[in-house]
Structure 1
């Protein structure tokens, strides 16, 4: 059985819920660890088959210190000084044996606008020598603070199953 690590950044709790639903789907065929980005290792274990990374879309990309501060001013009660952008920047260069998949959460009104945290994370991961397993995926919230749109957690679990099936073990 392969192993997976799910690393997430969450400001309002919605991205964490999606990360845990993805982990549920992965868990059908892999051992899974779920970790908030601030507690995630900077040197993922070589025995991992898959790393899944996700965060909220802020200003059409990954969060940055200014957008995280803005979220806290708006009432976000989670998130630290560092996010997925910084975590990815500190990963060692590759090539790496692990596959990597990326996801994000974004407001439904932004569904058709360019840019997403998932696509930005995928570019950063490629830069560090990780191979992707699947297209990046977006999960939708009704408004900045949420809630998640109906059916998104079920869709996240199904996506977790699909990406686990694409990973050679």
Structure 2
């Protein structure tokens, strides 16, 4: 299965998760920052995973723009994740992974799993212990 993990990251935490996911998928899964890929190239993949930090309850602007400009994803399997920290105020706004998943399914993508998340210690990180391993396990479940 030809796979791509697209991410955006402010402090490197989401990028670490994206790389862990791609590594766990194996067989040449590609990793790309949202600003470094054209929307039409996504159509050459069987599975595309999107990840973003949660910023004001949403994915980052570059990831939002990429998704907005995507062509129809009919026949492409998709998944989404975000990085977040435990803060009661953040829960009021919602989370990026849910919004990403909703946008991808509106574009015709076939959602493989519910949106997931990975925790950081504070807004800037680092990732909580065990999150990279959890990301790898999640990726393995996606490709089963």
Q: TM-score range by the shorter chain?
A: over 0.9
* DSSP 3-state at the match of 1:10: coil
Q: What's the TM-score, normalizing by structure 1?
A: 0.79
Alignment of 1:78-97 (within 5 A): 83-94=62-73, 96-97=74-75
- Number of aligned pairs? 143
Give me the whole-angstrom Cα distance separating, in 1, the residues matched to 2:42 and 2:31: 14
Alignment gaps of 5+ in structure 2: none
Give me the whole-angstrom Cα distance separating, in 1, the residues matched to 2:42 and 2:130: 33
Give me the whole-angstrom Cα distance separating, in 1, the residues matched to 2:120 and 2:99: 19
Query: Which structure has the larger Rg?
Result: 1
Q: What's the TM-score, normalizing by structure 2?
A: 0.92
Structure 1 pair 110–40 and aligned structure 2 pair: CA distance change class (3 A): farther
Give me the whole-angstrom Cα distance separating, in 1, the residues matched to 2:123 and 2:43: 36
Q: CA deviation at 1:108?
A: 2.5
Indicate which of 52, 56, 59 corresponds to 1:55: 52
Instruction: Assess if the C-alpha contact under 8 Å between 2:57 and 2:90 holds in 1.
Output: no
Instruction: Quote the RMSD (CA, aligned, Å).
Output: 1.7
CA deviation profile, 1:71-100 (whole Å, cap 9, x unmatched): xxxxxxxxxxxx111100000124x21100
Structure 1 pair 60–53 and aligned structure 2 pair: CA distance change class (3 A): same
Indicate which of 30, 33, 36 corresponds to 2:33: 36
CA deviation profile, 1:7-52 (whole Å, cap 9, x unmatched): 000000000000001111111xx43010011102211354421000
Give me the whole-angstrom Cα distance separating, in 2, the residues matched to 1:109 and 1:52: 25
